[in-house]
Amino acid sequence: MSAPTSPEEPWPVRTVARKIADWINRLGTIWVEGQITQISARPGAATSFLTLRDPSADVSLTLTCSSSLLRKMDPPLTDGSRVVVHGKPTFFVGRGTLSLRVDEIRAVGIGELLARIERLRQLLKAEGLFDPARKRPLPFLPNRVGLITGRASAAEHDVLTNARLRWPSVQFEIRNVAVQGSTAVPQILDALGELDRMPEVDVIVLARGGGSVEDLLPFSDEALCRAVSACRTPVVSAIGHEPDSPLLDHVADVRCSTPTGAGKRVVPDVAEETRRIHQLRDRARRALHGWVDRERRLLDALRSRPVLADPHGPLARRSEQVTALRDRARRATTGVLNHERHALAAIRSSLTTLGPAATLARGYAIVQRTDPDGVDGVLRSVDEAPPGTRLRVRVVDGAVYAVVSE
């Protein structure tokens, strides 16, 4: 184990470089995939230098290989070629640089690229990044449109021209980036993050014209697809032409087949909206007039009804009916009372006629004397009654009888 250093006993540069070289030399060989961005092969030189870049990040690595290995590549390597290399990390003590000493280079063919894209497509689909339920609708009239595209490209011209033809006052926030090659993905990611953080940007458009499969590879990059999926702002994909279908089309909230279609999709047509406003205004006017006419007819019908034309007439008729019913009730009550009064007078007359008082008032009565054995005869005079007897008067069939009881 190395002794610790101190300000009094520092290591010289050669010691540090040698120790780093010793650690790196312990590493074994590895396979690395990337994109060639620079090739330096001088005629007659035994060693060639290349730069291998990560397509998804701003990271590169220097490669060294024999010039014969580079010359044997068929087809020859060019800037932008996707390759898989086999080599061993090497640290050059004299220059203090790290490189990868390569002994094999394999070009990544179109078939393999498409197969990788298909595997990534299945992975992202299984994670739900293609799910229509997570896609957000575009705003009807965005305050500002973010545009990520190549500098002075036909795609930028198509988006701006078609959008301003439809809505002349539309505002754009443009970020020009590389849309192909090794620097495309990092630049697009930086522009996407910047526009997504701007609150005034309501929608972001990624636009690029058509191209080969290799040219459109940045728009099938996994890092870019996940960044678009994580955006808070709706994203429109307008990459290539109708047959082109990078993975970005499936992750974006809206897919347009061309940049021209994106320019027409992000803003409404001012002429069409003006016509729609006029149509809606006419419909509203007709509806209001119809409603007013209908209510006026209803009001006229209500005003023409007798109850509203002569409101006192029904009251007067009801008052007459009440008066008539009251008179009928009075007459009926008076008739019942008179009838009962006459009946009572007849009953009273009968009682008076048949009562004993009336018979006695006429001055005569039939008096019978009774004893325990029965009737003893008729008294012709009260004087014939024995002293101490009592007379009991009773009425039988309208005749008054006085019975003497001892």
159-178 residue pLDDT tens: 999 999 999 999 999 999 99
Q: How confident is the model at residue 405 (pLDDT cuts 50, 70, 90)?
A: very low
Average of per-residue pLDDT values in the chain: 84
Rounded to the nearest 10 degrees, what angle do helices 222-230 and 184-196 cross at? Answer: 0
Q: How far apart are CA 318 and CA 333, in angstroms?
A: 22
Whole-prediction pTM value?
A: 0.55
* Model pLDDT for residues 97-139, shown as the tens digit of each residue: 888 999 988 877 666 777 778 888 899 999 999 999 999 999 9
For residue 151, pLDDT beyond 70: yes
Q: How far, CA to CA in Å, does 15 sit from each of 25, 89, 247, 339?
A: 15, 19, 50, 149
Averaged pLDDT for residues 45-50: 88
User: What is the structure's pLDDT at 404?
Assistant: 46
User: What does the buried/exposed string (b/e) look like for 298-320 if buried means 16 or more CB atoms within 10 Å of the residue's CB?
Assistant: eeeeeeeeeeeeeeeeeeeeeee
CA 218/CA 146 separation, integer angstroms: 19
Residue owning tokens 């009094």: 8
Amino acid at 9: E
More confident residue, 154 or 374: 154
Distances (CA, A) of 305 to 175, 260, 299, 300, 321: 74, 66, 10, 9, 22
What is d(CA 17, CA 40) in angstroms, rounded to the nearest whole number?
26
pLDDT band at 280 (very low <50, low <70, confident <90, very high): very high
Which of 279, 221, 322 minimizes the C-alpha distance to 239? 221
In angstroms, rounded to a whole number, what is the distance separating the alpha carbons of residues 341 and 140? 96
Lowest mean pLDDT among 183-192, 225-234, 307-316, 323-332: 307-316
Angle at 371 between CA 368 and CA 375, to 5 degrees: 40
Instruction: Give residue-wise pLDDT tens across range 311-359.
Output: 788 888 889 999 999 999 999 999 999 999 999 999 888 887 776 666 6
